[in-house]
A and B are shown apart, each in its own frame.
Chain A
Amino acid sequence: MSRRWSLSNRLALLFAACTAIVSLFAGVLFSRGSEAHFIELDQQLLEAKLAGVRRALQDGPNPQARLADELSRQPDLALRIKDRDGVSWHDSSIRLPIQVPERPGLSTLNDTDNDYRVLNAPLDPNRADSPQLTLLLDITHHQHFLQRMQRLIWLTVGLSALATALLGAWAARRGLRPLRRMGAIASSVSARSLNARLPEEHMPAELAELAHSINDMLGRLDDAFQRLSAFSADIAHELRTPLSNLLTHTQVTLTRERSLDDYREALHSNLEELQWMAQLVNDMLYLAKADHGLLAVQREPLELALETDLLLEFFAPLAEDAEVKLSREGNGRIEGDRSMLRRALSNLLDNALRFSPGGGEVRIRIVDGPQTVRIDVENSGREIPAALLPRLFDRFYRADPARQEGSNEHAGLGLAITRSIIRAHGGDIRCESADGWTRFVVELPKAGQP
């Protein structure tokens, strides 16, 4: 329910509630304050009168006249005098048939029409059997004033709440205008126009952060989408060449009678194209599985020095042939998938050997760190321009753009597969190239860590 309320309405309501609470609090405080002030005034007045009445009754002659004189100066004041037994001696308020509280001190009394402040005190505080004086002050006009003020307070509370609700709604709507603008831009984003971006510089600080995050997300989406589109196009392109070779070659072969050797040659040539395509499809499927997080890593404890040495032994004939020196130093233990990591490292070694010149060197260095194990695979040789480094792991990327498709040319998926394997292990790979060395740096989380 509350989820469907618009932000503007929520803010307006909150503003109104805040104003109402603040004005109510102020009103109550003021009203209490004035009431206390009136009570204080009344008390001072009544105590002054009490003193006057005591003086009139206790000292000097003709107390009756002096009492009347004292009372006449305050027409809204009444006096009752009773003795200890409750017999009334004097009552200037006979027309008030009210029952007055007996307890001493100041109290407030509500009659049907009027309100009174009552002060009970003994005539002579020093005598226990002294007659009791009761002073009644009519404070109806005070109470009226207070009531009027209370009504005013309620009115103020209500009106100010209403006013802030309306103003708040307007202000919120106005303040949230950038958000609506964001929404409009966001709704214009589709697969076809992923390049729309939110204007961060015109956004208020709170929204700028959100806009920045959304822009980042759009950037990543755009990038992934571009790669995906390029990938599909690449697949089509990669398959088109061998397919067209197969078609042409087969049709040409079949146009006339040929010798057995020619047929055999044609079939062999076709076989090579087909094997290349099968390898491509298998690699693509492997990468697709990796993209969907379906590479199941079957972890087991691995001694990296041992694994690397086995790979170096595997590549030894190739390296000797190319007159490239192979070496390994360091060791580290991780938990990983033996077959997958062998494939990953074999791709790196194959790559390193491919790009080492004769008489060059390929070195593997394993560094056992506290959190990760780092494997450097480096080869001497021509450096890779820095601008190309991030692209090395892209699918179908080949360092040499003028490559030929053919059975001996690899499809350019090796490094992409290597990266997928490393990432499936929770690690990462990067490439550095400087000072005549090209180095692939693999970082793998250590055993026992996800």
Chain B
Amino acid sequence: MKLLIVEDQLKTGQYLRQGLGEAGFNADLVADGSTGQQLAVSGEYALLILDVMLPGRDGWQILQAVRGAGLDTPVLFLTARDAVEDRVHGLELGADDYLVKPFAFSELLARVRSLLRRGSSAAQETSLQLADLRLDLIRRRVERGGKRIDLTAKEFALLEMLLRRQGEVLPKSLIASQVWDMNFDSDTNVIEVAIRRLRIKIDDEFPDKLIHTVRGMGYVLEERKL
């Protein structure tokens, strides 16, 4: 799966490419808008990450060219200006998501994964599973090692999200947005507390822990063999 990064700030671009590469994505990086547009309309990319301010052609123009060529490649905008007009303009032109600098890489990665997943219509699952943890979506029951665990509605939603995106580091802001529909920067530690309470129910009694904290980035649900 190939991604295209069009970003004129060299350091930013290189870090993005490295980060995405290590997360398993093959990303091409170009620094000017004109080359970026040529590559973008070629149709061989699964996702475009565009900076708004670019030499040559700006991010909006590239987006227009891409949509004009009949491509519905997901587009994630990076902008240094958090102007509402930018947001509205981008969404009108058909951008799929955008991030305001400074942003956390974990946030970018999570959004990239969301956008890529959106296209592929996942089969209707009836249950989610990791190791001996099983979540029954129909009966809304959770079991681990055959033992039933009682969760509140929000804990269930949180665990469902972790299970659906197992192996991905989920930043706190994404969890707040997906589980509680709270879409704002907040320095509250609600998510930490919620994860801790979920851990008590899911992990405490078991030697193999499934919920892990990735310091400074977020939380991940995965099996870690010792």
Contact = CB atoms under 8 A, between A and B. Distances in A.
Contacts of B196: 321
Contacts of A408: 189
B180 A310 contact: yes
Contacts of A314: 176, 180, 182, 190
Contact of A271 (B183, B194, B216): B216
B124 interface: no
B84 to A, nearest CB: 4
Contact of B216 (A272, A286, A317, A410): A272
Interface string B165-204: 0000000000010001111111111100110110000000
Contacts of B118: none
Interface string A305-327: 00000110111111011000000
Nearest to B182: A314
A408 B189 CA distance: 9
A342 B197 contact: no
Query: Chain A interface mostly helix, strand, loop or mixed?
Result: helix
Nearest to A281: B102
A58 to B, nearest CB: 112
A339 B190 contact: no
A279 B185 contact: yes
Interface in B54-69: none
Interface in B21-65: none
A336 interface: no
A331 B181 CA distance: 21
B91 interface: no
Contacts of B154: 313, 316-317
Contact of B194 (A268, A282, A317, A339): A317
A346 B188 CA distance: 9
Contacts of A279: 185, 187
Interface residues of B, number: 27
A310 B181 contact: yes
Nearest to B179: A314
Nearest to B198: A317
Number of contact residues on A: which range applies?
A: 35 or more
A434 interface: no
A114 to B, nearest CB: 93
A329 interface: no
Given A268-B216, A278-B102, A410 B187 contact: yes
A410 B181 CA distance: 22
Given A275-B216, A294-B83, A294-B84, A339 B183 contact: yes
Given A275-B104, A294-B84, A342 B185 contact: no
A289 B215 CA distance: 31
A288 B183 CA distance: 20
Nearest to B197: A317
A272 B102 CA distance: 14
B128 interface: no
Contacts of A320: 197
A317 B190 contact: yes
A275 to B, nearest CB: 6
B215 A268 contact: yes
A350 B182 CA distance: 14
B149 interface: no
Nearest to B155: A317
A54 interface: no
Nearest to B195: A317
Interface string B213-226: 00111000000000
Contacts of A286: 82, 185
Interface of A: 268, 271-272, 275, 278-279, 281-283, 285-286, 289, 294, 296, 310-311, 313-318, 320-321, 339-340, 342-343, 346-347, 350, 408, 410-411, 414
What are the 7 A-B residue pairs with the smallest beta carbon separation, nearest first? A271-B216, A343-B184, A296-B84, A278-B102, A410-B187, A350-B188, A317-B194
9 contacts: A271-B215, A275-B216, A278-B103, A279-B187, A283-B185, A286-B82, A286-B185, A321-B196, A339-B183
